[in-house]
Amino acid sequence: MTFDYKVADITLAEAGRHQIRLAEHEMPGLMSLREEFGPTQPLKGARIAGSLHMTVQTAVLIETLTALGAEVRWASCNIFSTQDEAAAAVVVGKGTVEDPQGVPVFAWKGETLEEYWWTAEQILTWPGADSNPELGPNMILDDGGDATMLVHKGVEFEAVGNVPSADPTDSEEYGIFLDVLRRSLEADPKKWTRTAATIKGVSEETTTGVHRLYQLAEQGKLLFPAINVNDSVTKSKFDNKYGIRHSLPDGINRATDVLMGGKVAVVCGYGDVGKGAAEALRGQGSRVIVTEIDPICALQAAMDGYQVAKLESVLAQGDIFITTTGNKDVILAEHMAGMKNKAIVGNIGHFDNEIDMAGLARIPGIKKVEIKPQVHEWVFEAGTAAERSIIVLSEGRLLNLGNATGHPSFVMSNSFANQTIAQIELWTKKDQPAGEREYENQVYVLPKVLDEKVARLHLDALGVELTELTKDQAEYLDLDVAGPYKPEHYRY
C-alpha cells in the first residue's frame, strides 16, 4: 500500500521504532487498552484526524488507536515539537522504508507557519472524500484546538462565501491561517461544511484547546460533541504538573546547560503547569518567585513557600523566566529590556503569545543571534558600552517540546489512555437515538470511574499496593466498593 505523507526523513524509522518499543514498556495504560479492546475493535470505522505533538509517546497513542480499529492521519500541533524519527517510524509501520504501511503523518521539526497550516489541512483531507464524504474524517483528536478551529472557521466562512482579510491587530499566524482557508474555499466552496457534517466528535488534550471549546459551546457554535480530556484528573493533575516537572528542566538543560541551583527563577502562573514548573526549579536549587493574577493560586504559591511578586518588581533579579499561564502578553518587550544580562526567557504554555516576540524584534538596535536551533540570543544596544542580551528559548513556543522531547512516556500514558477512552466513548455512542444521547454538541469530561480506571492501569507498574474498602466501610462512606470514590466536586 502506498499513501501520501510528509516527514523529514523516512530512513529514521528504525531509530524511531527502537524508541517506540521502549516507550511501550513505559506506557502500561495504553498497552492494557490494546489488550482489553484489541479483540472487539471498538474504533472500527473511525477515521481520526489527529493534531498533537508528533513525539515517540504520540506514536504509541497512534498505534493504539489503529490497534483498536481506527484509520488515522496525523500532524503535529506545533512547528517545533515533532521527533522526526518517531514520525518516520509511524509512517513505515509494519512495512519498510521502501513500502511504508503505517499511518500518513504530516509533521517534521521546524515547519514554517505556512507548512504548519498545510499539515493541518492534510489531516482533514482524506483521499476520495471530495466526491464521497463517507471517506472523509469522522473524528478529531486535538491538542490546542487548531484542527477544530480549522473546521469551525471553514464552515463559518463558507456560509458567508468569503474569508476576511487579516486585521492589522491579528497575529502573523492568524493571517496565514486565513490564507489557507481562502485557498481552500476557492478550490472547494463546500469542503468544510461537508467535512463538519461527517465529524462525530473531538477529544481535546490541553487547557488552551478546552478553553476554546467551552467558548464555542457557550455561543451555541460547537458543531459536534467534545470530550475535555485535559480535565480528567489523571490528565491535568499529572501531565500538566509531573510532566512539566520533568520536561521543563530537560528543555532548559538541553538549550543552555546553565546551572539552575542558586539562580532566581520567575514562574508566571501557578496553575497545574506552574506548580510543576516551580517544583522542578526549586528541586534544582533555584530560588523561585511566582507571579499570579488569581488570589487563590497566589495564596497557594505563598503557602508552598514561594515569594509571590509582580513581574515588574523582580525583573532585575530573575535569571530564568518561564511563562505557564495560557494567557497572552505576559512577558512584554519592555519587560525583556529590563532583565539582567543573559537572563533566560521561555514559555511552556500552549501558544507563543505569552511572550511578545514581535515587540522584542521591534526594539531599536536589537540583534538576534542564533546560538543553535531553538536557542537565540537577543542583543540590546549591540556594539555599545551598554550591550546586554537575553536568551529566548524556542522563539517563545513551548520550550519543553521545542528544546527537549516533551513529557516522558509514563505520564503521557495517563493522558493518552484518557484520549483513547474518549475516542471510544464518542465513536461507540454516536448512533444513540435522540433523547437518549449521552453526548450532544457540548463539552464533556469523562466519568470519574473511567478516570479512576486510568489511574488503576498505572499502579502495578509502580508497585503500588492499593487498599480495598471493606463492604462495611463502603456502606459507611456511602460508596460502591468498585468506585467512584470521590464526588464530582472533589478537587484532589
Interface stretch with ligand NAI, choices 69-77, 169-177, 286-294, 454-462 (CB under 6 A): 286-294
Alpha-carbon distance of 305 to 199, in angstroms, equals 47
Alpha-carbon distance of 60 to 409, in angstroms, equals 9
The count of residues in the chain is 492
Minimum CB separation from ligand NAI for residue 348, in Å? 4
Alpha-carbon distance of 190 to 49, in angstroms, equals 19
Alpha-carbon distance of 147 to 153, in angstroms, equals 10
Report the SS3 class of residue 444: strand
Q: At residue 461, what are phi and psi to the nearest 5 degrees?
A: -60, -25
Residue (32 or 394) nearer to ligand NAI, CB: 394
Alpha-carbon distance of 112 to 107, in angstroms, equals 11
> Cβ(265)–Cβ(281) under 8 Å?
yes
Minimum CB separation from ligand NAI for residue 134, in Å? 34
Judged by CB under 6 A, the chain residues 407 through 436 that form the site for ligand NAI are 407
Map residues 287-316 to x or -, x wherever contact with ligand NAI holds by CB under 6 A. ----xxxx--x-------------------
Our finding on whether 331 is near ligand NAI (CB under 6 A) is: no
| Interface pick for ligand NAI out of 317, 327, 428, 441 (rule CB under 6 A) | 327
29 annotated ligand binder: no
435 annotated ligand binder: no
Map residues 382-411 to x or -, x wherever contact with ligand NAI holds by CB under 6 A. ----------------x-x-----xx----
Kindly list the strands in the beta sheet with 226-228, ordered across the sheet, starting from the edge strand earlier in the chain: 105-106, 71-75, 47-51, 139-142, 202-204, 226-228, 443-444
Q: At what angle do helices 56-67 and 13-25 cross, to 10 degrees?
A: 80
Interface stretch with ligand NAI, choices 16-24, 154-162, 235-243, 422-430 (CB under 6 A): 235-243
Minimum CB separation from ligand NAI for residue 58, in Å? 12
66 annotated ligand binder: no
Our finding on whether 326 is near ligand NAI (CB under 6 A) is: yes
271 annotated ligand binder: yes
Give the helix/strand (H/E) hosting 145: none
> In this structure, what C-alpha cell is assigned to residue 373?
536551533
Map residues 333-352 to x or -, x wherever contact with ligand NAI holds by CB under 6 A. ---------------xxx--
> In this structure, what C-alpha cell is assigned to residue 42?
471498538
Of 9, 36, 418, 78, nearest to 227 by C-alpha is 418
Minimum CB separation from ligand NAI for residue 375, in Å? 17
235 annotated ligand binder: yes
Of 320, 323, 330, nearest to 390 by C-alpha is 320
Minimum CB separation from ligand NAI for residue 51, in Å? 14
Alpha-carbon distance of 402 to 150, in angstroms, equals 23
Report the SS3 class of residue 420: helix
239 annotated ligand binder: yes
Report the SS3 class of residue 179: helix
Minimum CB separation from ligand NAI for residue 247, in Å? 6
| Interface pick for ligand NAI out of 236, 409, 413, 423 (rule CB under 6 A) | 236
Our finding on whether 204 is near ligand NAI (CB under 6 A) is: no
Of 399, 395, 365, 359, nearest to 379 by C-alpha is 365
| Interface pick for ligand NAI out of 266, 268, 421, 445 (rule CB under 6 A) | 268
Annotated binding site for substrate: 55, 143, 205, 235, 239
Annotated binding site for NAD(+): 206-208, 240, 269-276, 292, 327, 348-350, 400, 407
Binding site for ligand NAI (CB under 6 A): 206-208, 236, 239-240, 268-274, 291-294, 297, 324-327, 330, 348-350, 398, 400, 406-407
